[in-house]
Amino acid sequence: MAPICPRPVITWLAFDAGEICLGANLPPESGIRVPANALRGLVDALFQKVGMNTENAGLMAQLLVATDLRGVFSHGTHQTSGYVRMIRDGRVNARPNIEVTSTTSTTRIYDGDGGMGHLPSWQAANFVADTAAELGTAAATTGNHFHFGGAGKYTRVAAAHDCIGIAISSHRWERQGMIANGATGASPMSIAIPTSADVPPLVIDMATRLLPWEEDLFEQMPFAYFKELGLGSIAHALGGVLAGVWQPGRMPPTSKWESNQGGFFAAFHIAALCPIDQFRAEMTRYVSECRQLAPFPGHQRAELPGGIEWLNEAEFGRLGIPISEEHESSLQAIADEFDVDTPFAQFESTRFGAGS
pLDDT above 90: residue 210: no
Q: What is the pLDDT of residues 100-149, one digit of tens each?
A: 999 999 999 999 999 999 999 999 999 999 999 999 999 999 999 999 99
Domain 11-89+322-345 has CATH 1.10.1530.10: yes
Contact 239, 169 (CB under 8 A): yes
> pLDDT grade, residue 3 (50/70/90)?
very low
**H helix or E strand, kind and range, residue 326:** helix 325-337
Domain boundaries, the chain: 11-89+322-345, 99-289
CA dist 75 and 62 (Å) reads 13
Maximum distance among all Cα pairs of the chain, rounded to whole angstroms: 58
- Cα angle at 267 between 264 and 269, to 5 degrees? 175
> pLDDT grade, residue 355 (50/70/90)?
low
> pLDDT grade, residue 354 (50/70/90)?
confident
pLDDT at residue 24 in the model: 64
> pLDDT grade, residue 43 (50/70/90)?
very high
Give the side-chain half-sphere CA count within 13 A for 25.
25
**Minimum mean pLDDT among 71-80, 158-167, 204-213, 278-287: which range?**
204-213
Asked whether the domain spanning 99-289 has the same topology as the one spanning 11-89+322-345, the reply is no
Calculate mean pLDDT across residues 27-37.
Answer: 96
pLDDT at residue 253 in the model: 87
φ, ψ dihedrals at 308, nearest 5°: -65, -40
Q: Which of 20-34, 210-224, 334-348 has the highest mean pLDDT?
A: 334-348
pLDDT above 50: residue 302: yes
pLDDT above 80: residue 6: no
What is the average pLDDT score of the chain?
91
pLDDT above 70: residue 5: no
Calculate mean pLDDT across residues 195-224.
Answer: 92
The residue with greater pLDDT, 177 or 4, is 177
**H helix or E strand, kind and range, residue 289:** helix 276-291
Give the C-alpha distances (Å, rounded to integers) separating 41 from 32, 58, 62, 314, 338.
Answer: 17, 8, 9, 20, 14
pLDDT at residue 283 in the model: 97
pLDDT above 80: residue 17: no
99-289: CATH architecture: 2-Layer Sandwich (3.30)
Calculate mean pLDDT across residues 318-327.
Answer: 96
**Minimum mean pLDDT among 76-85, 102-111, 203-212: which range?**
203-212
Calculate mean pLDDT across residues 29-54.
Answer: 97
Contact 145, 119 (CB under 8 A): yes
Give the C-alpha distances (Å, rounded to integers) separating 4 from 1, 8, 317, 320, 346.
Answer: 9, 11, 14, 11, 21
The residue with greater pLDDT, 184 or 224, is 224
> pLDDT grade, residue 312 (50/70/90)?
very high
